[in-house]
């Protein structure tokens, strides 16, 4: 009987911890899909990168410091967390320019559009 109680308690604790850690990640991923579908295309220069300690399906979630530039020339900085696909690791470095989609209602919410990313010959901010 004691073993059953301990098993139930441990299972409950694991479920709570998983909920606290993974539910925000899942919610963030769903918001990212929406922004990719409905967001405004822009470019962003990577100003800094940081580890989060989180991996999803063996791929690291990275904190990006981005300088976003819209087609009309507006620029601003954002901090953004997103999974970095292993295939893109070679093109992601400080100074690299990546395509992003920007949430229309909340411009501080962006998603790197990995499907539109292309290796750059030089990590230079494009001239406006």
pLDDT in tens, the chain (128 residues): 878 788 888 887 877 776 666 666 566 666 668 888 899 999 999 999 998 888 888 889 899 999 999 988 899 999 999 988 888 887 788 999 999 999 989 999 999 998 887 765 445 555 55
CA-angle at 110, arms to 70 and 84, nearest 5°: 120
Q: State the pLDDT at residue 127.
A: 59
Q: State the pLDDT at residue 121.
A: 47
- Measure the CA dihedral 89/123/52/35, to 10°: -90
Reported as type and span, the H/E element at residue 97 is strand 97-102
Tell me if residue 29 falls in helix, strand or coil: helix
Which residue's structure tokens are 């470019």? 43
Does the reported pTM lie above 0.75? no
Q: State the pLDDT at residue 25.
A: 59
**3-state SS record for 69-82:** ECCCCCEEEEEEEE
């Amino acid at each position: 009987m004691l073993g059953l109680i301990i098993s139930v308690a441990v299972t409950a604790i694991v479920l709570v911890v998983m909920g606290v850690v993974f539910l925000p990640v899942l919610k963030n991923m769903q918001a990212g899909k929406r922004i990719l579908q409905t967001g405004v295309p822009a470019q962003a220069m990577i100003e800094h990168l940081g580890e989060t300690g989180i991996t999803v399906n063996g791929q690291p979630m990275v904190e990006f410091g981005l300088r976003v530039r819209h087609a009309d020339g507006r620029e601003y900085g954002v901090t953004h967390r997103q999974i970095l696909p292993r295939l893109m690791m070679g093109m992601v470095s400080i100074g690299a320019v990546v395509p992003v989609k920007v949430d229309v209602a909340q411009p501080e919410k962006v998603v790197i559009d990995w499907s539109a990313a292309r290796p750059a010959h030089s990590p230079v901010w494009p001239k406006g």
